[in-house]
């Protein structure tokens, strides 16, 4: 569940500054996470269904290319994630400390 939410935020962030399309989103996210078309397109459909983004088509090289743009609701999702990040970081550090304690015990 958490990883799915992180992927949603990554996808929204990829189109935050500039509308984009599937292949470009995959290429942009490749720097941080490996995501395939079979993973991306269900995410895009889910985010569109939740009104976090909207789509439109543009003709490119004689074919229609589907572009995605973030909505106000999608921007709020990113803001909520960022607002909750300090809590997530505390949880991460707690888990990491427990693992370090475990490694130190023989």
CATH of the domain at 34: 1.10.10.10
Domains in the chain, number: 1
Residue 93 has pLDDT above 60, yes or no: yes
Distance between CA 26 and CA 102 in Å, rounded? 38
Average pLDDT taken over every residue of the chain: 92
Residue 42 has pLDDT above 70, yes or no: yes
Residue 98 has pLDDT above 90, yes or no: no
Q: What is the pTM of this model?
A: 0.84
Distance between CA 45 and CA 72 in Å, rounded? 17
The residue range of the domain holding 95 is 2-104
Residue 25 has pLDDT above 70, yes or no: yes
Residue 4 has pLDDT above 90, yes or no: no
Residue 64 pLDDT level (bands cut at 50, 70, 90): very high
Residue 82 pLDDT level (bands cut at 50, 70, 90): very high
Looking at residue 103, what is its pLDDT? 76
Residue 55 has pLDDT above 90, yes or no: yes
């Amino acid at each position: 569940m958490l990883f799915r939410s992180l992927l949603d935020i990554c996808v929204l962030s990829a189109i935050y500054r500039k509308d984009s399309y599937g292949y470009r989103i995959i290429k942009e996210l490749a720097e941080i996470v490996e995501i395939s078309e079979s993973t991306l397109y269900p995410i895009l459909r889910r985010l569109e269904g939740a009104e976090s983004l909207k789509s439109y088509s543009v003709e490119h090289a004689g074919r229609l290319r589907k572009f995605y743009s973030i909505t106000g609701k999608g921007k709020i999702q990113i803001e909520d994630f960022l607002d909750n990040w300090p809590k997530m970081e505390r949880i991460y550090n707690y888990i990491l400390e427990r693992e370090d304690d475990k490694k130190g015990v023989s």
